[in-house]
Structure 1
Amino acid sequence: MSDRYQKFVLDLVQRPGNSNCADCLSPNVEYTSFNLGIFLCEACASIHRSLGVGISKVKSIKMDNWSEDQVKCMEACGNLKAREKFEQLVPTCYKRPRDKDPQVLREQWIRAKYERLEFMDPEKQTYLAGFKEGYLMKRGKDDKKFQRRRFVLSETDNTLKYYNKEDAREPKATLRLDEINAVIVPEKVGNPNAMQITFEQGSNTRSLFLQAETGKEIVDWFTSIRSAKLNRLTIAYPGATEAELAQNLTHSFLMEGWLSKTGPRQGDAFRRRWFTLERRKLMYYDDPMDAFPKGEIFIGHEDKQFAVRDGLPPGIKSQGFCFTLKTPDRHFHLSAEVLEDKTKWMQALESVISQPLSPQDSSSNFGIKQNKKAKRISVLNLVRH
């Protein structure tokens, strides 16, 4: 009898909306929460178990036995109906995680939906207030230690400020919300509740690395930044929809990882660097958590002599898995440590180069400053017109 019930559940998976995880849309559906009536991937199912059986009762589709009542619960609901209930009021600024996103984003999304019921009650969405004040641990630029700092976000003033001392009258730094990007980076920082903020400081890109005590706290800060930016864009561009504007609130890095590169002179040796591809900007660092990159490379379109080619030109001694990034000003000789990394980097760079410059790319003011290490390129105005 239980085999018949299991077959029925497998048939339910094929119904519209059920073949992808209810929370992260992964196509690998293997579990359910039978009291909620939803189908889940393994990763999301593990988070549901941590909620407790009072909220979510997890069951494997194939490995567990099924009862008639449990099957009826699944048949009566399903992923589409559950979303109508638990995602009634998801703000446009809230980042809906996908299966490749960091664990903290996925966990807080699930807890917000089923534990805190945030998307059924707008009063619980405190990150939409346009103002947020609190403490985060910030990594020092020079001493590399994380220290407790007071942060204040103001949508009205278009600022994110932080103070080195609790009683300080003047902030240590004031960042324009319009010009910052925020990315959740647990693996890079070695803390599950970590965020990186990047912004332009002079002609350089500056990074702040922040930690929070809880996952909810870091995601609330992340969402508060996105909410404030969206509200300001809505006023600035009244003809655009929120969905269009939401694409420009924050953006994850397209690629990150270790590569080796040669210097600009013939015969320069390969040196290992941490590379980050952020939209059309390729940056490289001595260390992944350096405040400033050693160099920045603007990645333009293929019709302007930008290209990626396998291998190295004659006369350059190969090291590892090599490829060449061609720009109008210089050819960069790069080497990955494994073939898979080389393939991913080439594909990521080619995807950028093949895309025509958007209006914000074309109208951006690219200030180029030559220093001893490399050209540093400042990219401004990343707002979609």
Structure 2
Amino acid sequence: MASDSRNNKILLDLVQQPGNNLCADCAAPEPDWASYTLGVFVCLNCSGMHRNLFTVSKVKSIQLDYWEDSLVQFMKERGNSAARAIFEKCVPAFYYRPQHHDCIVLKEQWIRAKYERREFTGEKNDFLQNYTLDLFESTLWKKGRDNKQYLRRIFLLSQKDFTLRYFTKEDSKVAKAVISMKDLNAHFQPEKIGHAHGLQISYLEDERTRNLFVYHENGQVIVSFFNAIRATRLAYLLKKHPTLRHTDLIPQITTHCLMEGYMEKTGPTQREPFKKRWFTLCSVTRKLLYFKSPLDATDLGAVFIGSHEHGYSVSESSGRCTRSGRWRCGITLETPSRQFVFMCEQEQERRQWMEAFRKVILQPMTPEDYANEATLRRGK
């Protein structure tokens, strides 16, 4: 028992060291599990995924399980930093490294790619070479534009002309759509789409935001497609900004929305009835988009949100408007050209939206932001 206690104490000391104090796979703080075959400290969620790699990884709790002296010695010799030097030696700049808040399929495929398929050790180049090919093809299930039915579609990424095309049939000669990498974004939305592998692709079409919702039953296929999009996007950005470094461009490859959810919205005169709309706020584009429902193919409108120095502000409103609906937690968004009034269902939602709006307003404007603002104003 004394040996058990001593070994657990050694592990608790090890997990507090820099490098070990974050999960080796998702960077969650205070990992309390470890793979004693790989020598990495991981969080509870990632330990569950390691259990699925039973031929590669075996895990124990660093506090509750019995640890033999030899296993503790291996953990001392290895640790997260040394393991990362082995299993993440050749991770491409475009490849998405999941964080603890990301969806399961991203984290699971990252873990499998590192330890099971050993894609980044430098031993095998077959996996990574696929991302640098001129053409990358995937067959996915895509939601119809005007209905809820998902149909098989062939998607083709090109690093020659920086486009994403999709076809309705394998022998189709003409693409249903040709999408430029210029304004394309992709991020996983499993809850919204209703599938664990659901991916949302957004782009501009005639100055309106167009959404595609796709999935594949195989997690490796959909995550590979996502990273192929990122590879093509990075190639486009490098050509567009040849003087910028990879580190400057990586945050621009694909982005998460800052906030999403329902609010009620009134019209420009504020005498119109409030209507329930689905809103999406992106801090990178500084756009607040609104849709009739979460899975709409095209937005109903967009609001550019500039900085405080340029006349943009947000504040609470009373919510006592006679034409408002059931919701009473009001928000007023001031822009140089118009005042917008929104209603949230709950006070907590209002606080979250207010915080999100303020985060965007406090960001300094970039030259590209000024161009986007001018484009939106011309379209109105």
Counterpart residue number, 2:49: 47
Q: How does 1:22-37 map to 2 (within 5 A)?
A: 22-37=24-39
Distance 1:39 1:152 in 2: 39
Q: How does 1:50-89 map to 2 (within 5 A)?
A: 50-52=52-54, 54-89=55-90
In structure 1, what is the equivalent of residue 97 of structure 2? 96
In the TM superposition, what are the counterparts of 1:1-385 in structure 2 within 5 Å?
Answer: 1-52=3-54, 54-120=55-121, 121-125=124-128, 126-279=130-283, 280-312=286-318, 319-364=327-372, 366-368=374-376
* Compared CA separation, residues 311 and 317, structure 1 to 2 (3 A): farther
Residues of 1 paired with 2:315 and 2:270: CA distance?
19
Q: Distance in 1 between the 2:303 and 2:157 partners?
A: 31
SS in structure 1 of the partner of residue 336 of structure 2: coil
Question: For the residues of structure 1 that align with 2:351 and 2:247, how far apart are their CA atoms?
Answer: 32
Q: TM-score, normalised by structure 1?
A: 0.91
How far does residue 329 in structure 1 lie from its aligned partner after superposition?
Answer: 2.0
The range that moved more, 328-337 or 73-82, is: 328-337
SS in 1 for 2:75: helix
Please give the alpha-carbon distance, in whole angstroms, between the structure 1 residues aligned to 2:196 and 2:133.
25
TM-superposed CA distance for 1:323, in Å, is 1.7
Q: Is the 8 A contact 1:130 1:227 kept in 2?
A: no
TM-score by length of structure 2 reads 0.93
- In 1: Cα distance, 2:263 partner to 2:373 partner: 28
Question: Greater CA deviation, 231-240 or 63-72?
Answer: 231-240
Alpha carbons 1:181, 1:249 under 8 Å: kept: yes
Deviation, 1:355, is 0.7
Shift of 1:248: 1.3
1:165 Cα offset (Å): 2.1
Letter matched to residue 57 of structure 1: K
Return the alpha-carbon distance in structure 1 between the equivalents of residues 170 and 87 of structure 2: 39
CA drift of 1:92 comes to 0.3
Q: Give distance in 2, aligned partners of 1:287 and 1:235.
A: 36
The one-letter code sitting in structure 2 at the alignment partner of 1:182 is A
**Using the alignment, how far apart are the partners of 1:268 and 1:29 within structure 2?**
52
- Residue 276 of structure 1, CA deviation: 0.5
> Percent same amino acid among aligned pairs?
40
CA distance in 2, matches of 1:232, 1:294: 29
Alpha-carbon distance between aligned partners in 2 of 1:68 and 1:321, rounded to the nearest angstrom: 59
Evaluate the alpha carbon distance shift between residue 365 and residue 298 of structure 1 in structure 2; reply closer, same or farther with a 3 A threshold: closer
Mapped partners of 1:102, 1:172: distance in 2: 30
Deviation at 1:313, TM superposition (A): 7.6
Distance 1:349 1:72 in 2: 50
Residue 247 of structure 1 aligns to a residue in which SS?
helix
- What letter corresponds to residue 142 of structure 2 in structure 1? K
Cα offset, 1:351, TM superposition: 0.5
Distance 1:262 1:365, change over 3 A: closer
Say if 1:130 and 1:224, in contact at 8 Å, map to a contact too.
no
Sort the Cα spacing of 1:91 and 1:316 in 2 relative to 1 into closer, same or farther, 3 A: farther
Contact 2:40–2:75 at 8 Å: present in 1 too?
yes
Helix, strand or coil at the partner of 2:350:
helix
Judging changes above 3 Å, is the alpha-carbon distance between structure 1 residues 203 and 234 closer, same or farther for their aligned structure 2 residues? closer
CA RMSD of aligned residues (A): 1.9
* Cross-structure match for 1:383: none
Mapped partners of 1:301, 1:78: distance in 2: 45
Q: C-alpha distance in 2, partners of 1:173/1:317?
A: 41
Aligned length: 371
Unaligned runs of 5+ in 2: none
Tell me the alpha carbon deviations over residues 70-101 of structure 1, each in whole angstroms, 9 at most, x when there is no partner: 21111111110010010000000011111111
Please state how far the C-alpha of 1:62 moved relative to its aligned partner.
Answer: 1.3
- Which deviations, in whole Å up to 9, do the C-alpha atoms of 1:180-208 show, x marking residues without a partner? 11111111101111111111111211111
Instruction: Name stretches of at least 5 consecutive residues in structure 1 with no aligned partner.
Output: 371-375, 378-385
